[in-house]
Amino acid sequence: MSDPRQTAVIVLAAGEGTRMKSSIPKMLHTIGGRSLLDHAVRAARGISPAHLEVVVRYERDRVSEHVLSLDDGVIIADQDEIAGTGRAVECGLQALPADFAGTVVVTMGDVPLLTADTLAGLVDAHLATHSAATVITATPADPTGYGRVVRGIDGAVEAIVEQKDATEAQRAIQEVNSGLYAFDAVMLREALAQVGTDNAQGEKYLTDVVAIARSRGLAVQAHLIADLWQTEGVNDKVQLARLGAELNRRTVEAAMREGAIVIDPATTWIDADVTIGHDTVVHPGTQIHGATTIGRDCVIGPDTTLIDVEVADGASVVRSQVELAVIGPRATVGPFSYLRPGTRLGAEGKIGGFVETKNAQIGDGAKVPHLTYCGDATIGEGANIGAGTIFANYDGITKEHTDVGAYSFVGSNSVIVAPRDIGAGSYVAAGSAVVSDVGPGQLAVTRAAQRNIDGWVARRRSGTRTDQAAHQANAAAAEAKLAEQPGAVAPGDDWAAADAKEAQR
């Protein structure tokens, strides 16, 4: 027989979740950047059980593949066609070693705020009281829909009655079953064998185990917890958003306790896996998702979205969208830029306003300050990419790469047609279309020479405001030239002298 103090956790995830009205299985919907099932499996793993199982049926392949991608130590148990939480646990027990005689903890795949600490507290209470079953219960303001906890005159738990099977008097009970339990494995196996399906839903209820244990004179405890959120399940998309908002509130609070400065927690969304260093300021309207890590003393936001981004100490990202990118120490991004996957910005580098980057390695101290598309490029240390530069990386068939060497200077409004190699320490003149490589120290100029055609406006735009402006400017220039000549009298300077001069003619 196995060690009676061993623990197995069975996470129930076989239900269809019809009320979600979704093509995605309920368990795979996410809050805080993790699926509901991911939250449930992590809490279960957090008590280091000897066995961890997930019971599946609806969309079994999709759900089990997802679970194994999160934690390949999970045992997948299949529920058969008999419905109900009791049958689900029975199928789970069949996948455990036949002689398992420890504690079986049952949790639900759709209760995402439950923590490992709460489960550990449940197991401790269960073992300390030598109970056959211990049920986590709660007293929500509105108990509708939950199973009610029926207590005897001595206060001991007698039974759990489902809403649909409850009498009027039982429905008035405030204390509800959270669906989270610890059971003695041997008792559970025996009791489930006796549970039938004679109830309003025609299902094999796990909750019936409670009355069976009591009828055999065994102890059943309620483990009442105050944090109702940890017992709340997701049944529809309203609850998904509600629990998502509460999880976020908890995550943002934890980030602040770890030293982040969050200006407006109400408009800041931080996923559960994110880490933020001391004194980094997160401004309003910012979403930080996935496996993002942010160093110390950074400025993030306002109105910024980071998805799987690594931000080093002292960097700033303002009003920008960044995905799968690495931002170096003291580098600056934004406002209004879009950094796509594969962007790496070096230490003290700059990506300014209205810049889009993709698969771009931008060296230490290099600058891409304004209005640029920088795709499939490597930019050397200290290089400067002028306003409006386009890295033309796509010819309609293939994507090609461009290298710009260290300390090179690409003039504004240039198009660099890839594949291209712009050597270190070179210049590209503003407005060039660069279609061949540039060597170190060279200046590349590809634009046509400028021609100025005199009198064009007077001839072709005669009488327009433009023409008038040209006349005024030409007249002013002529007067200025006259005034420069020695002995000349500026008009308005001395009208009497000018008149006298005129009279002498």
Binding site for Ca ion (CB under 5 A): 233
CB atoms < 10 A from the CB of 242, how many?
Answer: 15
Q: In this structure, what are the phi and psi dihedrals at residue 170, rounded to the nearest 5 degrees?
A: -70, -35
307 lines the binding site for ligand UD1 (CB under 6 A): no
Interacting residues of 225 by C-beta distance below 8 A, sequence separation 6+: 118, 121, 136, 137, 138, 178, 231
Contacts with ligand UD1, 145-164, as mask; x by CB under 6 A: -xx------------x-x--
User: What is the Cα–Cα distance from 162 to 428, expressed in whole angstroms?
Assistant: 76
- Our CB check for ligand UD1 shows the closer of 136 and 379 to be 136
- Our CB check for ligand UD1 shows the closer of 77 and 307 to be 77
User: What is the Cα–Cα distance from 216 to 213, expressed in whole angstroms?
Assistant: 5
Least distance between Ca ion and beta carbon 234 (Å): 8
Site for ligand UD1 in 426-485 (CB under 6 A): none
Q: Which residue of this chain has its Cβ atom nearest to ligand UD1 in the complex?
A: 147
- Count Cβ neighbours within 10 Å for each residue of 443-466 and write b for 16 or more, e otherwise: ebeeeeeeeeeeeebeeeeeeeee
349 lines the binding site for ligand UD1 (CB under 6 A): no
161's tokens: 């009655």
143 lines the binding site for ligand UD1 (CB under 6 A): no
Least distance between ligand UD1 and beta carbon 36 (Å): 9
12 lines the binding site for ligand UD1 (CB under 6 A): yes
- In this structure, are residues 286 and 294 in contact, taking their beta carbons and an 8 Å threshold? no
- In this structure, are residues 148 and 176 in contact, taking their beta carbons and an 8 Å threshold? yes
Of the candidates 83, 66, 56, 72, which has an alpha carbon nearest to the alpha carbon of residue 29? Answer: 66
- In this structure, are residues 427 and 408 in contact, taking their beta carbons and an 8 Å threshold? yes
110 lines the binding site for ligand UD1 (CB under 6 A): yes
- Three-class DSSP labels, 106-121: EEECCCCCCCHHHHHH
Contacts with ligand UD1, 62-81, as mask; x by CB under 6 A: -----------------x--
12, interface contact from Ca ion, ligand UD1, none, CB < 5-8 Å by kind: ligand UD1
The residue with tokens 């490992």 is 116
- Our CB check for Ca ion shows the closer of 19 and 471 to be 19
Interacting residues of 142 by C-beta distance below 8 A, sequence separation 6+: none
Point out which span in 102-110, 133-141, 342-350, 380-388 binds ligand UD1 (CB under 6 A).
Answer: 102-110
Least distance between ligand UD1 and beta carbon 95 (Å): 13
3-state secondary structure of 169: helix
- Three-class DSSP labels, 310-324: EECCCCEECCCEEEC
- Our CB check for ligand UD1 shows the closer of 85 and 131 to be 85
Site for ligand UD1 in 233-292 (CB under 6 A): 233
CB atoms < 10 A from the CB of 478, how many?
Answer: 10
User: What is the Cα–Cα distance from 268 to 274, expressed in whole angstroms?
Assistant: 13
Contacts with ligand UD1, 165-194, as mask; x by CB under 6 A: -----------xxxx---------------
Of the candidates 308, 318, 323, which has an alpha carbon nearest to the alpha carbon of residue 275? Answer: 308
205 lines the binding site for ligand UD1 (CB under 6 A): yes
Least distance between ligand UD1 and beta carbon 55 (Å): 5
Using CB under 6 A, pick the residue from 96, 206, 383, 410 that binds ligand UD1. Answer: 206
305, interface contact from Ca ion, ligand UD1, none, CB < 5-8 Å by kind: none
205, interface contact from Ca ion, ligand UD1, none, CB < 5-8 Å by kind: ligand UD1
3-state secondary structure of 489: coil
95's tokens: 């996948």
Element (H, E) at 434: strand 433-434
Using CB under 6 A, pick the residue from 32, 49, 84, 352 that binds ligand UD1. Answer: 84
Is 370 a known active-site residue?
yes
User: What is the Cα–Cα distance from 480 to 484, expressed in whole angstroms?
Assistant: 6
Which of 66, 370, 401, 471 does the annotation list as catalytic?
370
Point out which span in 103-111, 241-249, 383-391, 397-405 binds ligand UD1 (CB under 6 A).
Answer: 103-111
Point out which span in 85-93, 124-132, 167-175, 476-484 binds ligand UD1 (CB under 6 A).
Answer: 85-93
147, interface contact from ligand UD1, Ca ion, none, CB < 5-8 Å by kind: ligand UD1
Residues designated as active site: 370
The contact set with ligand UD1 (CB under 6 A) reads 12-15, 55, 79, 83-85, 87-88, 108-110, 146-147, 160, 162, 176-179, 205-207, 233
